[in-house]
Amino acid sequence: MKYDFNTIEQKWNTYWKEHQTYQLKNQFDKPKYYVLDMFPYPSGAGLHVGHPLGYIATDIFSRYKRMKGFNVLHPMGFDAFGLPAEQYALETGQHPAVTTENNIKRYKEQLDNIGFNYDWSREIQTSDPKYYKWTQWIFTKIFHSWLNPKTQKAEPINTLLALFEKEGNISVQKEKASLFTAEEWKNFKEEDQRNILMQYRLAYLAEAEVWWCEALNTVLANDEVVNGVSERGGFPVEKKKMSQWFLRITDYADRLLDSLNDLDWTDAMKEMQRNWIGRSEGAVVEFQLKDENRKIEVFTTRPDTIFGVDFIVLAPELNYIETISTPEQQEAVNNYIKYVKSRSERERIAEKKISGCFTGAFVIHPFTKREIPIWISEYVLSGYGTGAIMAVPSGDDRDFAFAQHFDIEISNIFGTQFDGTKAFSSKEGIIENSDFISGKTIKEAADLILKAIEAQGIGQSKINFKLRDAGFSRQRYWGEPFPIVYKNNIPYSIDEAELNLKEADKNLPVLLPHVDHYGPGPNGQGPLANISNFVNIQNSNGENLLRETNTMPGYAGSSWYFLRYMSPNDSENFVDEEACKYWQSVDLYVGGTEHAVGHLLYSRFWTKVLFDLAYTKFEEPFKRLLNQGMIQGSSRFVYRIKGAACQFVSEGLKDQYETDAIHVDVNLVNGTELDLEAFKKWRAEYADAHFILEEEKYICGVEIEKMSKSKYNVVNPDNIVKEYGADTFRMYEMFLGPIEMSKPWDTKGIEGVHRFLKKLWRLFFDEQTEEFIVTDEAPNKAELKILHQSIKKVIDDIEKFSFNTSVAQFMILVNELSDLKCHKKAILSQVVLLLNPFAPHISEELWHHLGYEGSINDASFPIFEEKHIVETEKTYPVAINGKHRTNIAFPLTAEAKDVEPVVLENEIVQKWLEGKPHKKIIFVKGKMINVIV
């Protein structure tokens, strides 16, 4: 009997489906473990071999945990709203709901081929009204909340209303807002009251810039703007202000920062979040405009350098620039502002090019009374701090470069520490030439300046965050509609009584209406604005109201999806209370680093809000986070000779010609050798191709790139599964290398893993006689040794998520058992159990042949709990005269859980040295020794 993986895998996939092996009950009495993958966006291209990498790892881990007796939640779903489906709809006219459904169907088939243990009865799709109903519901809760600065917790907006009615805004006054009393509050018009509340809501409306393309009459995403023009059509784009929804995540900046410490995430991941939040302590300082009773407020992290200010730089989009520029400079300023409008933020900060424009205006230095010029430049961003900086060229690299470029004289406040060729940007140093802070350290100087500006009433210390509020509006079709209705231009959540909505309009979800075309609405509004019976509604009083026509961004649905898996079909609540109490937060979350700041930060924010509002019992969504690397594609190139119509030259000879490198489908290439006939058939234009060969072969060029359709380097897991089986595919993906590392896919290497499984099969079946050859003989020492070594190694590696080394250990195990000709049930049944998380199909099949009924996955087995006898040797390195090393081996017998030697290491070594001449023994950290003889 041969290892017929196709039949075996089909058999068990069907068995699991029919017996609902992986369907999970909320068994609240068992210990729980929640394993989650970042759910995929179902793209039209289908899964490629890179997608399942993390899924296989979590599948192994969840099977392992289940075998250890845990109740394991390991669900899967789809992040189904998004831009690509809409762009596809624009091109083809196909409804995103239809293409999305097809894509999901394809994804599920592909996933099922690999044999994952998902409980599909818990599947969620963010574009499903049953799901986005609750996304909208959570949005209304966020809209109806504010962050109480005293408790630092979200509270219902009613508590703020009560406060206003009792004492006005005295204790919760927002920066730059005027004070009002309770009496005044009550006399405000409804519109003014709502506007004030809007300044507190955790979801609020504000003006913000978007990319606007006049020619396409639409708003574009950053991804749709390439090199300053629209990706579609190459039309010019510019920034335009529009009213947008935001989530006030900045109110949670400190908490998001603090609770990072308790998470079991990699340091790199935490560091990226910290830097993204970007807390910095500094000061705001006012500079008086010359000849005018107005002030410019700057934020600086280096108040100590205030005597080194040589110019002020404003972000070009600040609206007061026009009013301070002198008439002579006005035109130059306007031109510069126009130029900046066409620049992306990335370009502005990434390019080395220095640009700016003098406004003609000056401020007066608060201490020296010196006149300081005001410039505008794109390197200052309006969204950070006050959008204005005090430039200190002797202490800041960018300011230095700017001063040099525009020939601005540089004041030196660091004495000899500043050499005039580059800024002295160290945070340790002595301030010089700075009046009353000369000779002080930077730290002391900063404190003194803070005191001085506070005394003068021109500034105070301030903590600033790089983090910005999260833009939550998209002028798109394929997203969640907002549960928001405007009455007299004032936004209301549809559950508010003031709206007097008809019963049918009051309830969630607000369904995404069907549209016939997906083009933008008037004035840059989203496609929903075109549907008048969606937009225009009447309330019970017969008043005309307007619905919000924006939709929510992609991260809305993904910010809370981990909660929905706990009770995916609950129609009464976003999550069932009991289930939520039991499952708590995700124990292990696996996904790519590309989500390090976006999704993970938003999700943490939503979780905290829901916690504050007492809807959940935990504050962090993901306790342990692991990142998986990307599997890159290995692209192949052919070299077409320039000028010659259809002539290609082999890689080794290409330098003799002028050629264009052209991507060729990897599936037409065996290693690096091109299949000429297949290539000719690939495309009509290549039917008459001629080739210049080397050694009778056409060799292709190779480059490692992102796996993508357009590069023809996509490898479909379906083909691999068909050819080698899912178990081989699973183990090979794990064997490729550490999960977190990016690496190129190479189909050739899969043979080794496939051989391993065939070899394993031959421990059970004699392929010559076609007989089952497992015996009931008792195992011997050698067999037990390799078995138990492997159990220990594999389990340790699973816990460490080091699956590549566990697969290697399996290979060693099977090689040794083959050499020992071990066909004993006592050994093999243990091997099968251990292998089950990695290669579930073959394990089930062999388990069945060993005479066991049902599925391994139906029950938990004690293999991972038992103490096993481990016979092993531990070696101790000893250096002689600091140079030559010997290892002394000591046999020891211990139990698996307690493999440490009973005897202290040093004593072992000393015992070994007994009777051997030596002068001196050097102990290092009580462990390593160096023997001087």
Partner RNA sequence: GCGGGUGUGGUGAAAUUGGUAGACACGCUAGACUUAGGAUCUAGUGCUGCGAGGCAUGGGGGUUCGAGUCCCUCCACCCGCACCA
Task: Enumerate residues 166-195 that contact RNA by CB under 7 A.
Answer: none
State in angstroms the smallest separation of the CB of 224 from RNA. Answer: 7
Spatial separation of the C-alpha atoms in residues 652 and 673, rounded to whole Å: 12
Nearer to RNA, 103 or 473 (CB): 473
Task: Enumerate residues 551-590 that contact RNA by CB under 7 A.
Answer: 553-555, 558
Q: Are 169 and 177 in contact (CB under 8 A)?
A: yes
- Degrees, nearest 5: CA angle 697-703-706: 135
User: Taking CB under 7 A as the rule, does residue 614 contact RNA?
Assistant: no
State in angstroms the smallest separation of the CB of 897 from RNA. Answer: 16
3-state secondary structure 32-54: EEEEEECCCCCCCCCCCCCCHHH
Nearer to RNA, 17 or 681 (CB): 681
x/- string (CB under 7 A) for RNA, residues 26-55? ---------------x--------------
- Distances from the Cα of 534 to the Cα of 512, 540, 556, 619, angstroms: 9, 17, 22, 37
User: Taking CB under 7 A as the rule, does residue 599 contact RNA?
Assistant: yes
CA-closest candidate to residue 244, choices 188, 198, 213: 198
Spatial separation of the C-alpha atoms in residues 553 and 574, rounded to whole Å: 19
User: Taking CB under 7 A as the rule, does residue 713 contact RNA?
Assistant: no
Q: How many CB atoms lie within 10 A of CB 695?
A: 7
Pairing of strands 279-289, 459-465: antiparallel
Q: Are 673 and 699 in contact (CB under 8 A)?
A: yes
Nearer to RNA, 325 or 593 (CB): 593
The residue type found at 290 is K
Nearer to RNA, 509 or 633 (CB): 633
329-337 CB contacts, 8 Å cutoff, 24+ apart: 329/357, 329/358, 329/359, 329/360, 332/357, 332/358, 333/357, 333/359, 333/376, 336/376, 337/376
User: Taking CB under 7 A as the rule, does residue 302 contact RNA?
Assistant: no
The sheet that has 218-220: what strands, in order across it? 218-220, 203-213, 238-247, 470-471
State in angstroms the smallest separation of the CB of 625 from RNA. Answer: 13
Nearer to RNA, 488 or 887 (CB): 887
Residues that contact RNA, how many (by CB under 7 A) = 90
Considering only 77-85, 155-163, 832-840, 860-868, which stretch makes contact with RNA by CB under 7 A? 77-85
User: Taking CB under 7 A as the rule, does residue 405 contact RNA?
Assistant: no
Pairing of strands 295-300, 279-289: antiparallel
Q: How many CB atoms lie within 10 A of CB 327?
A: 7
**Residue ranges with strand state E in 816-898:** 869-880, 884-895
Q: Which two tokens stand for residue 364?
A: 């007066």
Spatial separation of the C-alpha atoms in residues 518 and 476, rounded to whole Å: 8
Return the bridge partners of 459, or none: 285
Nearer to RNA, 373 or 479 (CB): 479
The residue within the footprint of RNA, chosen from 46, 513, 752, 779 (CB under 7 A), is: 752
State in angstroms the smallest separation of the CB of 433 from RNA. Answer: 26
Considering only 272-280, 450-458, 647-655, 658-666, which stretch makes contact with RNA by CB under 7 A? 272-280
The residue within the footprint of RNA, chosen from 563, 715, 753, 832 (CB under 7 A), is: 753
Question: How long a stretch of residues is the chain?
Answer: 933
Nearer to RNA, 78 or 180 (CB): 78
Nearer to RNA, 468 or 697 (CB): 468
State in angstroms the smallest separation of the CB of 812 from RNA. Answer: 5
User: Taking CB under 7 A as the rule, does residue 520 contact RNA?
Assistant: no
Nearer to RNA, 629 or 840 (CB): 629
Considering only 98-106, 528-536, 745-753, 853-861, which stretch makes contact with RNA by CB under 7 A? 745-753
User: Taking CB under 7 A as the rule, does residue 272 contact RNA?
Assistant: yes
Spatial separation of the C-alpha atoms in residues 268 and 597, rounded to whole Å: 11
Spatial separation of the C-alpha atoms in residues 348 and 510, rounded to whole Å: 39
Task: Enumerate residues 816-875 that contact RNA by CB under 7 A.
Answer: 818-819, 875
Per-state percent for the chain, helix, strand, coil, to nearest 5: 40, 20, 40
Task: Enumerate residues 81-100 that contact RNA by CB under 7 A.
Answer: 81-84
Considering only 69-77, 300-308, 346-354, 485-493, which stretch makes contact with RNA by CB under 7 A? 346-354
Nearer to RNA, 866 or 900 (CB): 900
The residue within the footprint of RNA, chosen from 25, 150, 176, 346 (CB under 7 A), is: 346
Spatial separation of the C-alpha atoms in residues 457 and 17, rounded to whole Å: 73
The residue within the footprint of RNA, chosen from 129, 278, 513, 901 (CB under 7 A), is: 278
Spatial separation of the C-alpha atoms in residues 471 and 251, rounded to whole Å: 14
State in angstroms the smallest separation of the CB of 684 from RNA. Answer: 26
State in angstroms the smallest separation of the CB of 318 from RNA. Answer: 18
Q: Are 310 and 391 in contact (CB under 8 A)?
A: yes
Q: Are 385 and 359 in contact (CB under 8 A)?
A: no
User: Taking CB under 7 A as the rule, does residue 901 contact RNA?
Assistant: no
x/- string (CB under 7 A) for RNA, residues 213-232? ------xxxxx---------
Nearer to RNA, 806 or 830 (CB): 806
Spatial neighbors of 385 by CB under 8 A, at least 6 apart, are: 284, 298, 299, 464
State in angstroms the smallest separation of the CB of 223 from RNA. Answer: 3
User: Taking CB under 7 A as the rule, does residue 706 contact RNA?
Assistant: yes
CA 455 to chain centre: 46
State in angstroms the smallest separation of the CB of 725 from RNA. Answer: 14
Spatial separation of the C-alpha atoms in residues 933 and 921, rounded to whole Å: 9
The residue within the footprint of RNA, chosen from 345, 543, 688, 866 (CB under 7 A), is: 345
Task: Enumerate residues 631-690 that contact RNA by CB under 7 A.
Answer: none
Considering only 306-314, 428-436, 606-614, 801-809, which stretch makes contact with RNA by CB under 7 A? 801-809
Q: Are 534 and 546 in contact (CB under 8 A)?
A: no
User: Taking CB under 7 A as the rule, does residue 239 contact RNA?
Assistant: no
Nearer to RNA, 583 or 637 (CB): 637
The residue within the footprint of RNA, chosen from 151, 159, 243, 275 (CB under 7 A), is: 275
CA 119 to chain centre: 24
State in angstroms the smallest separation of the CB of 519 from RNA. Answer: 15
User: Taking CB under 7 A as the rule, does residue 630 contact RNA?
Assistant: yes
Task: Enumerate residues 431-490 that contact RNA by CB under 7 A.
Answer: 466-468, 470-471, 473-475
State in angstroms the smallest separation of the CB of 275 from RNA. Answer: 4
Return the bridge partners of 701, or none: 637
